[in-house]
Structure 1
Amino acid sequence: MHFQDRWKLIIDELNHDRVTSVDELTAKLGASPATIRRDLNELHELGHLLRVRGGAMRIEGAHIGLKVTSDDRRNSLTGQAPFFESVIHYAPAKKAIARAALDLLKPGMSMIIDGGTTTYMLASIMPNDSYNVLTTSIPILQSLLDRTRIRVTLPGGELFREQRIILNPYEDGMLQNFAAQRMFIGAQAITPNGLMQTDTLLVQSERRLIERAQQVVVLADSSKINAPASLSVCPLTEIDILITDSGLSTRDKLWLEDAGIDVRVVDILAEDQ
């Protein structure tokens, strides 16, 4: 069973007034206890359920694939899917990309991890080491809470609930004093015009973050290459490294490398499925 289907079944089995145990879910879904525990931990970090000792409980209104209402869209970004929907799309590729990005981490490193689902995958598997992380992402913040050796900075601004990120349209004094060795960033698309997004506020925020980093590392699955998007965050010449999956075509790899980008292609392993 693919993990997306397993997650949906787990949510459906939970109750808001009692704990559904790992043993119950194991018997119901036919998965191993280790798999169920991992699923519960990931769903808890994503805000889909409440993880408690021995199992989990339902959060009222939690449902994977829940339709977005007009009220929700008032606090959303243009052209950006809700975080909970995006995180399960191309998830095996995102996990493989995140695993490869671990090679770029060094103890003591100061870094920016921008909001997004592939960057979230990286944060979720980072070791508990002496990193200094600035992030705009609530799920990334939640995933790092128990890793006490990692220092986390969260800039101020407005919360966009669907995408689970905080953006500030104004100059931020804290940000101006933060210097990162690397910035890990996702993308709505990567085209010959550069790293692309669909919302002007998101573009403004990411441009300011890029200015604070010595090196820009883009984590993007191959579906993002030449995908539709209208606003440029930065030209290709400002991207140092792109980590993507083996779905990248030879033609696309050539024009990316011609722009001076170190393109790293990773294979999707069985453990990513």
Structure 2
Amino acid sequence: MRPGHHEGRYGPVTETERQRQIITMLETRPFATVRELIDMLSVSPATVRRDIEKLHEAGEARKVFGGVASLTAASRTHALPFAQSSDLAVDAKRAIAAMAADLCRDGDMVMVAGGSTCHQLGLRLAGRSIGLYTNSMPLAAALGTHGACQLSVAGGALHREPGILYDPQAAAPDFFASRLFLGAQGLGLEGVMESHPLLPVATRPMLERADDVIVLADSRKLSVRARFVSCPIDRVSTLITDDGVQEDDVRILEDAGVTVLVAPVAAWRADDKT
């Protein structure tokens, strides 16, 4: 078979034809994973990655962690407000939060950052005998009303779009945590990514006061690239995600030294009584 040709489901498929099929796929959806393209094109992972690289170099699509994104999706870096984000992938977020809560023991001191998945974790820890520090205004309000844990809240002005409290003049919090649970708009080998410029700045003081960083991110987030890195990948000890995550993405993160825990959403949905 000539170079650039591969046997597809319906006979030989040229490199140009494969790439055209990828672009057509991206016209109806924002992202495609390497695994999905392997199945669609019936070619090897190496061939798919070469095609993605060429589309990226040609400016026809954007190479992202574990796959390829349409240019429209790749340029969409504005984070949703907390209330809207809370309505997305709810079962996955609750399954992730349940697994994260199981890592906490009575007497622990933990930090829970802003974001809808971290919010679900905070609600699960509300009645636990732990010390909990947060910069999330929605979580602080919920725990202040309904929680029994020892609650510490970041000071400063309320920034409504990301939903956090932050004071640029304040020193690092007088709170030392065994774990910092951190949400993400996007996640890749660069680290935890956010589109709001305040979030990396507000995260930095918490990183200085936590032993381990555990990222809570549903599998959609591994296809998102945002503008600002709030936590480098070498600072992340663990990612908890849902079972929609691609095996290629898990392998890449594990190769980078990150422990990946996968929460089975269907099993959680069947077992959860809350």
- Compute the displacement of 1:146 (Å): 4.6
The residue aligned with 2:246 is: 249
The residue aligned with 2:157 is: 158
- Structure 2 SS opposite 1:170: coil
Q: Is the 8 A contact 1:198 1:230 kept in 2?
A: yes
Residues 94-145 of structure 1: CA deviation (Å, up to 9, x unaligned): 0110011111111111111001100001111225222111101122112222
2:250 counterpart letter in structure 1: K
The residue aligned with 1:179 is: 176
Indicate yes or no: 2:101 matched with 1:102.
Answer: yes
2:164 counterpart letter in structure 1: I
Q: Give the 3 Å change call, closer, same or farther, for CA 82–137 of structure 1 in structure 2.
A: same
Q: Give the 3 Å change call, closer, same or farther, for CA 168–238 of structure 1 in structure 2.
A: same
- Compute the displacement of 1:200 (Å): 2.2
Q: Is the 8 A contact 1:93 1:272 kept in 2?
A: no
Residues 195-217 of structure 1: CA deviation (Å, up to 9, x unaligned): 11112221111122111100101
Q: 2 CA distance for matches of 1:188 and 1:116?
A: 9
Q: 2 CA distance for matches of 1:227 and 1:104?
A: 27
Q: 2 CA distance for matches of 1:219 and 1:198?
A: 17
Cα-Cα RMSD: 1.9
The residue aligned with 2:87 is: 88
- Structure 2 SS opposite 1:225: helix
Q: 1 CA distance for matches of 2:160 and 2:233?
A: 30
Q: 1 CA distance for matches of 2:163 and 2:230?
A: 20
Q: Is the 8 A contact 1:169 1:201 kept in 2?
A: no
Larger Rg computed on CA atoms: 2
Q: Is the 8 A contact 1:167 1:202 kept in 2?
A: no
Q: Any residues of structure 2 matched to 1:1-273 within 5 Å, and which?
A: 79-126=78-125, 128-146=127-145, 149-172=148-171, 175-269=172-266, 272=269
Q: 1 CA distance for matches of 2:132 and 2:138?
A: 13
Consecutive unaligned residues of structure 1, counting only runs of 5 or more, are 1-77
- Structure 1 SS opposite 2:229: strand
The residue aligned with 2:53 is: none
Q: 1 CA distance for matches of 2:145 and 2:138?
A: 13
TM normalised by structure 1 equals 0.67
- Structure 1 SS opposite 2:265: coil
Q: 1 CA distance for matches of 2:135 and 2:217?
A: 18
Identity level (%): 35
Residues 189-236 of structure 1: CA deviation (Å, up to 9, x unaligned): 001111111122211111221111001010000000130201111221
Q: 2 CA distance for matches of 1:148 and 1:187?
A: 25
TM normalised by structure 2 equals 0.66
- Structure 2 SS opposite 1:106: coil
2:108 counterpart letter in structure 1: M
- Compute the displacement of 1:171 (Å): 3.1
Q: Is the 8 A contact 1:112 1:183 kept in 2?
A: yes
Q: Give the 3 Å change call, closer, same or farther, for CA 178–225 of structure 1 in structure 2.
A: same
